[in-house]
Structure 1
Amino acid sequence: MKNTNSQKIRLGLFVIIGTLLFMTGVYFIGQRKEMFKKTFTVSTYFHNINGLQKGNNVRYAGIDIGTVSSIAMVNDSTIKIDMSIDEKITRHIKKNAIASIGSDGLVGNMIINIIPGKGASEGISNGDIIKSYSKIGTDDILNTLNTSSENAAILTSDLLKITNSITEGKGTIGVLLNDTIMAKDLKQSITNLKVATQSASYTINELNTIIASVKTNDNTVLGMLLNDTISGNKLKHIVINLETSSTEIETLLKNVNRVVDDFKLSEGGYNYIVKDTSLVNSLKSSLENINEGTDKFNQNMEALKHNFLTRGYFKKLERQKEKDEKKEN
């Protein structure tokens, strides 16, 4: 009996252990399909993995080539992703390949897509790190839509305020829409502008007519100048004469300059008057004597005005001068 119970216990433990081992094997096979394949590791870095988990698939050109083996936080803004990739795919993936995070369908699990890079490059090897490209996530799109909705609501509110102000007659546009007097004035201004435009058009037509008549009519001065070849030749002859006269005047001026230079270089009376310093000193002395004599004469006249013998005469002259000024006024 004892042997039977012991055998039952051993059998139960064997069944339990075997079941656990079977479940563990199924789990690992389900999570890591490449469990019995030769693999190599490739890494990349992301700032946001958008819900990617360990064991999610890795695809290259739409083909499952491996799984995500580990996810590690490097710092507060960088996450390292290690991928276990089938060794047979090594010759197809280059070092310039780019990794991006996508979804398996609309609501499926997150996956890593490896996109071939542009240009020639070496094949990838075990432990290499490839570049990554982060797409705009759903949260970012929702945040952008939320911000756009808020801005649209603010814009709608502002437009409603502007419309109400215009309807109430506030502002320039409101006055234009609601003020009938200004509307009449504006209408009158447009009418005046139309009349002015018509007048300008009429004036332009008249000018065109005048220009046409000038071109064809030889009786007017302008017509004669434009069309009469004889008058044109006369005018040309006058211009030639003016040019000849200017040349002769230039020659005359040269001769005058030559005469002036001869005066300056000669030793005659002109040279004596201009360059003789003794004559200049004599003239200067004479002028000083004249100024001194004039000053003394003024002093003598002032003394005579105050002399008792001649003072009455000068007062009489002053009274006569005042009477003449009163008469003139």
Structure 2
Amino acid sequence: MEKTTSQKLRLGLFVIIGLLLFILAVYFIGDKQQMFGKTNQLSAVFSNVSGLQLGNNVRYSGINVGTVRGIAMINDTAIRVDMLIDKTIFPHIRKNAIATIGSDGLVGNMIINIIPGKEKATSISPGDEIRTLSRIRTDDMLNTLGKTNKNAALLTSDLLKITNEINQGTGTVGLLIKDSNLANDLKQTVHYLKITGQGSSESITKINRLISSLENKDNVIGVLKDTAVANNLKKIVLNLKQTSTQIDNVVNNLDTTIVNIKNGKGAVNYLSNDPELVRKIDSTMTNVNEASLRLNENLEALKHNFLLRGYFRKQEKAKLKEQKKEEQK
């Protein structure tokens, strides 16, 4: 059956629309996969890629900047991952940046996250290899959770045993809870301890007051702690020491003098032991007294002599003037 012109137009329009949609899909997919943009290669080596596939996204600080273009096994512990990164992002990626493998959401595809370095460094160059950091995988987390669950089950069984013993009144804790007499004794003990603690607190307060009072300068210890008083006491002790030394010397001299007197040496011994010398001294003193009396009589006689009378009068006038001057003062 020959097709009409309208059917041919519809077919052609359908083919053109389908081709345009295909081209747009290829463009958007290629643009998302960095197929048509200007890109450079960057690589990283991981110990485990955790299901990473070709075409997965590469993010830098949460922004899609490239895609995974190659995954190659180097050895049993190293896997090389090649990435196509937008050229405009290279100046922002530093050489101390770190690449990690994570998931896009809870159940999304695996992606590579490039974390900026904390310290300033030079920008990375095309073809460089950046450092990597292997995070904990989901399997490892599940294994850890499994061990934690086993440990929790063991702890739960032990707690059940302990609670059963407590409820049955066995063990120290069970006795404390079930035995009323023991509880009362413990209560009294705590009460006595409280009273003892209060008494100790009061005693410590009194001791602190006593120690504080010792610091006061009005007290004996406070005075002794004063440096000025200490220096004065030190000087007094030194003076007492010197005085005691001098007293010892005087006592020694007195002992020597007494010994000399006893042994018949010196004038004191003669005066005390020789009576003839004493009588001579007495007669000498008597003669001296008589001579002084006679001398006074001679002086009185000279005062009345007409030759020396004027001299003595002048002396008396001079004495009177001096006495008047002293009285006026």
The structure that has the greater radius of gyration is 2
| Length-normalised TM-score, structure 2 | 0.49
